[in-house]
Chains A and B, each alone.
Chain A
């Protein structure tokens, strides 16, 4: 990224009082961040053995570096929520963990082993990482049911996948009604539901979720967070989530990180961040 100077042309009225521009948020956040939290602080937030541990991650796309040295630690069974302005690099963090971005330096440990050298397609099988992408990831020409079955592609027995799919249908009538329909014609929210349920079929250890609530109706948002809560509390999964609905996200998560322009600006327990007035002003729109 090139550092384009922020600011507006002189003839544009600059009456941003209640609202902040992308740059203004960034600027303010950068100031707020200062040096950013130290590694020890992050480790202190982590309970137990780290299930995911990122050190000094520099990553981006092609030659463009987006993340300039990110650290991230979350313990087994913990949930971590990344918040930050649009374009801060939140999705890029998840991309790097799954191998969709180009990692230039740093290490990514999941479950104790370095996954950076693993092909993306091995990360679910070998490292138990499941990923719910921010944008569309259904197989449009397969039926809803086939999509769910594909979620169990790595299972040795087809019957297991089938059972898992049935459990999903039991839970969401909406999907059950559409099980034989092409997934490509689902509405935005229906599709999101399908994507999340599909990612859970393999019962992964670590779940990466990029904005789970995007496009969902209020009741589904609640529902999705309930599912995630269940996964974490009952099944002891580790969850790393990006959420623009920062209030929801921080309420839910054990740990909150604030990401600004590819750097870590703040970190703290979810509830604590939620109450931080600066965070509130900059990220919660309070």
Chain B
């Protein structure tokens, strides 16, 4: 561990490399996290199937390459396909559990995640899949620092998606309905908002975001059927840190998490990177609850 820290001192370019890689993966985390924030905030559902939706997006982009198309098309295609998948899932399962105890929906989406994992396993096999975007690599500082153009594109795309989403929620009618439903569904209904449709749309949008993120993942990294949970957990962490309904915060937290994870992996050893992520999760939650303890919520 000390050796790793020393290495950072000896080869400072590593710091830059780690930071860049971290930010770029963090941006993708953020996209999935937008969706989670939406679904959580609006429907009061913690969507455990988030990671699997991301993977599904990845597999769709991969499938396009099998058909000879550029996986870059995967971003819009996966988003559109996943929108309908999401709306479908909502219709069949989510709407029946959304207004129940949150734990019920947690479990239901967990069940869906197992189902999707297995379906992907049956359709595409258990192997690691990647798709070559065809974009090249930039080199900085005399070839020491590499920046894959794909990752930069993913980064830019993620930020853009976030911005669009924020404006959409603030300005559009559906956006307003989504916000109102999030805060008090019964009140939304008495004002004439079709909350069921709002829920379906919200879940669809979430799935579409995941699909886009997945397409970025398969080009910038790789996917296989069992890789969902870390994405789910990261989304969750990001949302907690940012706070529900704080989308700009989601971007910042996503980038921060990506960078922190990368540095932790480097310094502690990659084997502890996942442990680090989950310990960080617990620590964040503990800090959050301590802070809340001070600013206590109270009853009326």
**A interface vs B, CB < 8 Å?**
98, 100, 119-125, 130-131, 133, 136-142, 150-151, 153-154, 188, 198-199, 202
Contact = CB atoms under 8 A, between A and B. Distances in A.
Contact of A150 (B180, B194, B195): B180
Contact of B192 (A121, A137, A138, A140): A121
Given A121-B188, A154-B192, 15 more contacts: A119-B194, A122-B192, A124-B190, A124-B191, A137-B186, A137-B190, A140-B183, A142-B183, A153-B177, A153-B180, A153-B191, A153-B192, A188-B300, A199-B190, A202-B192
Contacts of A123: 192
A154 B191 contact: yes
A231 B187 CA distance: 22
Nearest to B187: A137
Contacts of A119: 194, 196
A63 B195 CA distance: 24
Given A139-B180, A142-B180, A153-B177, A121 B195 contact: yes
Q: Which residue, of A138, A142, A202, has the highest number of chain B Cβ atoms within 10 A?
A: A142
Contact of B191 (A100, A136, A140, A151): A151
Name the prevailing secondary structure of the B interface residues: helix
Contacts of A122: 192, 194
Can you list the 7 inter-chain pairs with the closest CB atoms, starting with the nearest? A137-B187, A124-B192, A121-B194, A139-B183, A154-B192, A131-B190, A120-B189
A141 B178 CA distance: 13
Contacts of A140: 183-184
B118 to A, nearest CB: 34
B35 to A, nearest CB: 19
Interface string B157-182: 00000000000000001001101100
Contacts of B186: 100, 133, 137
Contacts of A137: 184, 186-187, 190
Contacts of B188: 121, 139, 150
A153 B193 CA distance: 8
Given A139-B180, A141-B245, A142-B183, A150 B190 contact: no
28 contacts: A98-B190, A119-B196, A120-B189, A121-B189, A121-B192, A121-B196, A122-B192, A123-B192, A124-B190, A137-B184, A137-B186, A138-B184, A139-B179, A139-B184, A139-B187, A141-B179, A141-B245, A142-B180, A142-B183, A150-B191, A153-B177, A153-B180, A153-B193, A154-B191, A154-B192, A188-B300, A198-B191, A199-B190
Contacts of A125: 192
Contacts of B192: 121-125, 153-154, 202
A286 B194 CA distance: 45
Contacts of B194: 119, 121-122
Q: Which residue, of B189, B191, B196, has the highest number of chain A Cβ atoms within 10 A?
A: B191
A114 to B, nearest CB: 19
Contacts of B195: 121
Given A124-B192, A153-B193, A188-B300, A141 B183 contact: yes
Contacts of A121: 188-189, 192-196
A12 B128 CA distance: 74
A42 to B, nearest CB: 26
A4 to B, nearest CB: 27
Nearest to A120: B189
A138 B179 contact: no
B177 A133 contact: no
B145 to A, nearest CB: 43
A127 B183 CA distance: 25
A130 B176 CA distance: 20
B196 A150 contact: no
A151 B191 CA distance: 6
A141 B188 CA distance: 13
A188 B184 CA distance: 17
A202 B176 CA distance: 17
Contacts of A138: 184, 187
A153 B176 contact: yes
Nearest to A124: B192
Nearest to A126: B192
A63 B190 CA distance: 24
Nearest to B41: A141
B183 A133 contact: no
Nearest to A199: B190
Contacts of B180: 139, 142, 150, 153
Contacts of A199: 190
Nearest to B177: A153
A98 B189 CA distance: 9
Nearest to B179: A142
